[in-house]
Amino acid sequence: MVRAQIVGATGYGGLGMTELLLRHPEITITSLLATQDTGKSISAVYPHLRGFCDLVVQAASPDSVGQDADLVIFATPDGVGQSYARKLLDAGIKVIDYSGDFRFRSAAEYARYARRHPSVQGKGHQAEDLLPESVYGVPELYREQIAGARLVGNPGCFAVAMMLGLAPAVRAGIIDPGSIICDGKTGISGAGKKPSATHHFPERNENVTPYRIANHQHEVEVTVTLEQLSGEDVHITFVPHLVPITRGIIVTSYAQLRSEVSQAQVQGLYEEMYQGEPFVRVMPAGVAPGLGAVLGSNLCDISLAVDEDNGRLVVAASIDNLLKGQAGVALQNINIMHGFPERLGLERVPIYP
């Protein structure tokens, strides 16, 4: 039984992992750490957990982080995981981090991200030497590396939808990677648990708002990844929008086709790449159910359309931002890191309606 510790347990990201691990047959939660609500039962913070998990939240500190754990999950903002990772790895503890701390293999790539992210503000990395060994946790692209990793950087929620939606087309070279537009729509849980003027109910309800226009940090990790896949320069204009739902992301991506490609050819390309993938579903031509079809699951649904008049490809990719975009993909990565069946604890059918 793997002993797991969740750092940042009182946020939505930590909560998602708690909910998943409560049903995992090979992993047990030994402690929940946080900087707020310490000393309270987690079920006092989240009453829905009453009777399922009543562990007391402990203060995260150099003493408590890593204690009695084989695996530490950092469901924390940027900068926390990188301050603890070296010590944990040296103690033989596996680490997965939700933030941007370990999504990049070099200080240069990280710097590009750090400049873009408002909460990092260009600050340098505290554990640069670990970057080459860290693995970017996108199973569909880096499964083998994850299998051997001690340190995994979980991808950004928008990045998951963007990458899974674009990877087959970019890899096959059918689209011009310099022509990509990604229009994202996200539920408000993506902003986390902390209240703010922007995410106050009356401000968000009956509203749709673009933000960080062409300036969101998740674009960086997608560009870096697609450049690796294609060997070409990638140019993405990404505009996220807040929509008044709790969970879910759908990213609609647009790119210029390099030559005439039929709908059937595109379908074939995507189906081939994702054949056997446990959590990616390529919808048949003409079927675009919206993000409602993946909520409550670790799935990514992909709908494809060729705009013949304009020679463009349109891809809509949907995920539950708190599962395939956060805790779900993290558990998928953890399963791979430990050699468990990849679906373990993630078998849930989406909830509908």
* Binders of its own copies in range 197-236 (CB under 8 A): 197, 199-211, 213-214, 235-236
* CA nearest to 96, candidates 163, 179, 155: 155
Q: How far is the CB of 246 from its own copies (least distance, A)?
A: 5
**Per CB under 8 A, does 252 bind its own copies?**
yes
Report the alpha-carbon distance of residue 236 to residue 219 in Å, rounded.
7
- Under the criterion CB under 8 A, does residue 109 sit at the interface with its own copies? no
Residues 159-188 that bind its own copies (CB under 8 A): 181, 183, 185, 187-188
Q: Give whichever of 91 and 213 is closer to its own copies, judged by the CB atom.
A: 213
Rounded-to-integer distance, Cα 150 and Cα 135, Å: 9
| Interaction between residue 112 and its own copies (CB under 8 A) | no
Question: Per-residue x/- mask for its own copies, residues 8 to 27, rule CB under 8 A?
Answer: ----x--x---x--xx----
The residue among 235, 248, 336 whose CA lies nearest residue 299 is 248
Judged by CB under 8 A, the residue of 79, 171, 245, 267 near its own copies is 245
Q: What whole-number distance in Å separates Cα of residue 30 and Cα of residue 19?
A: 14
Distance CA 189, CA 204 (A): 12
Under rule CB under 8 A, residue 115 binds its own copies: no
What are residue 252's phi and psi, to 5 degrees?
A: -100, 120
Residue 108 near its own copies by CB under 8 A: no
The string of DSSP letters for 260-309 reads ---HHHHHHHHHHHHTT-TTEEEPPTT----GGGTTTSS-EEEEEEEETT
CA distance 180 to 267: 19
Q: How far is the CB of 225 from its own copies (least distance, A)?
A: 17
Catalytic residue among 53, 157, 182, 300: 157
Q: Reply yes or no on whether 157 is catalytic.
A: yes
Give the C-alpha distances (Å, rounded to integers) separating 1 from 44, 66, 256, 338, 340.
Answer: 27, 16, 49, 11, 11
Site string for its own copies, 254-293 (x = CB under 8 A): x--------------------------x-x---xxxxxxx
Question: Is residue 55 involved in binding its own copies (CB under 8 A)?
Answer: no
Check binding of 248 to its own copies (CB under 8 A): yes
Catalytic residue numbers, as ranges: 157
